[in-house]
Amino acid sequence: MQALLTKLDLAKFPFTTEASEYIKSFNIEPVELARPELLPILERAIDRIKQGVFSGKISAELTQEDVDILAYPTALMLISVIGDDRARRRFALAEAKRAYQLLRDELPEKLLQVSRGSFGWDARIDDRDVGDSHFEFALHFEDYVRNSARIRDLRWKLVNRVLSEGYALLPREDFARLLEEEVQARVLDRTSITGLAVPPELEKYVDPLRSIIRARSQYLAADEMPRAVMAAAMPPCMRNLLSLLQTSKHISHMGRFAMAAFLLNIGTSEEELLKMFKSFTDFEERIARYQVEHIAGKRGSRRKYTAPNCNTMRTHGLCVNPDELCATITHPLTYYRRKARTLFRGRRQRNFSSRRRE
């Protein structure tokens, strides 16, 4: 039976087809957002952008349902007008993360309605146990592959899923995680429009937002992957693997894969990696080159691999000497980004203090 989405649901999930139809019923033109009675929508949209762009998180807390629903397309319009691609990508990811946070706690019927009605998935509720695993959904493999392609963790490869007559069986969290990918893609698509003009009435609201984003662009850059490899930002697990490599000690197959995938993802070149791997006693360049190029996405499926997540690292005994930052993250690359950002900001502050003394 189809689950009807309430107005509260539309406020939670303003990216849905039902929300779009509801928004159209208001027939509000952008220029009208400067009217006093509609200003709360504009202000909520600006706040939504600031949260998404600067903190990477958009609050799931709702204020007024209509305001929250209408603030979503307003935010899409504003981020398009501002035209900063890095900010656009961060906003899209934050919107997707917010959606996941809310979707994973919904009833299966609601998730099914969102997946079918808004994204056209071939999915059904399929509540069953297979071995020690419990599943709630079945998703056609084509929809699964399309949405899992951008997720680099090995467990998301189709061959690692339980299949039943062409459908991947999924627990609720994984089903919601794939919906997160759809939301991110939709936001990116709907904010890719260029050449939008800002109504003069809105310029006094858009210009300060644009200025703030430009002024803080270096911080946004620091939140992404550094251009140069920063050894000091590496997590303990990777520092341990590198230490074993440098002292020519044995590293398991999973350890080698994890280290190679991690180093390639933080900017190490394939040639640099091959030079490092020459210290292995069983090194054979032809085989090693093939493996490195496969991980880099230049062979086989042409899909670049990421390092295993923290749970997988622990399972294989590769999580070594975790520190305080480790307790807050679930992936070695997340550790690297956060530590690099901290180091970047510390260096920038020291440079600023030095200039002031001069």
pLDDT over 70, % of the chain: 91
pLDDT at 149: 86
Residue with more model confidence, 357 or 49: 49
Rounded Cα distance between 170 and 18, Å, is 25
Q: What is the DSSP letter of 287?
A: H
pLDDT, one tens digit per residue, over 115-160 is 999 999 999 999 999 998 999 999 999 999 999 988 877 788 899 9
Rounded Cα distance between 226 and 192, Å, is 25
Query: By mean pLDDT, which of 226-230, 257-261, 354-358 is the weakest?
Result: 354-358
**Hey, where are the domains in the chain?**
7-102+189-220, 105-185, 231-354
Rounded Cα distance between 18 and 5, Å, is 8
Q: Is the pLDDT of residue 190 over 60?
A: yes
pLDDT at 303: 74
Give helix 236-246 / helix 253-265 axis angle, nearest 10°: 110
pLDDT at 130: 94
133-140 and 123-130: which strand pairing? antiparallel
List, in order, residues 6 or more apart from 47 with CB less than 8 Å away: none
Rounded Cα distance between 313 and 295, Å, is 17
> Cβ–Cβ contacts within 10 Å for residue 339, how many?
19
pLDDT at 55: 87
Q: Write the Ramachandran bin of 302: left for phi over 0, alpha for psi from -120 to 50, otherwise beta.
A: left
pLDDT at 340: 87
Confidence bin at 205 (pLDDT 50/70/90): very high
CB 86 within 8 A of CB 217: yes
Rounded Cα distance between 320 and 238, Å, is 9
pLDDT at 355: 46
CB 238 within 8 A of CB 332: yes
Q: What is the DSSP letter of 155?
A: G
> Cβ–Cβ contacts within 10 Å for residue 5, how many?
20
pLDDT at 315: 94
Dump the DSSP string for 33-54. GGSGGGHHHHHHHHHHHHIIII
Task: Report the DSSP beta bridge partners of residue 167.
Answer: 140, 164
- What value does the mean pLDDT take over residues 77-99? 93
Q: Is the pLDDT of residue 292 over 80?
A: yes
Q: Is the pLDDT of residue 226 over 80?
A: no
Q: Is the pLDDT of residue 357 over 70?
A: no
Question: Taking all residues of the chain, what is their mean pLDDT, rounded to a whole number?
Answer: 89
Query: By mean pLDDT, which of 93-102, 216-225, 249-258 is the weakest?
Result: 216-225
- What value does the mean pLDDT take over residues 154-176? 94
> Cβ–Cβ contacts within 10 Å for residue 132, how many?
5
pLDDT, one tens digit per residue, over 26-78 is 999 999 999 999 999 999 999 999 999 998 899 999 989 999 999 999 999 99
Q: Is the pLDDT of residue 1 over 50?
A: no
209 sits in which H/E element: helix 203-215
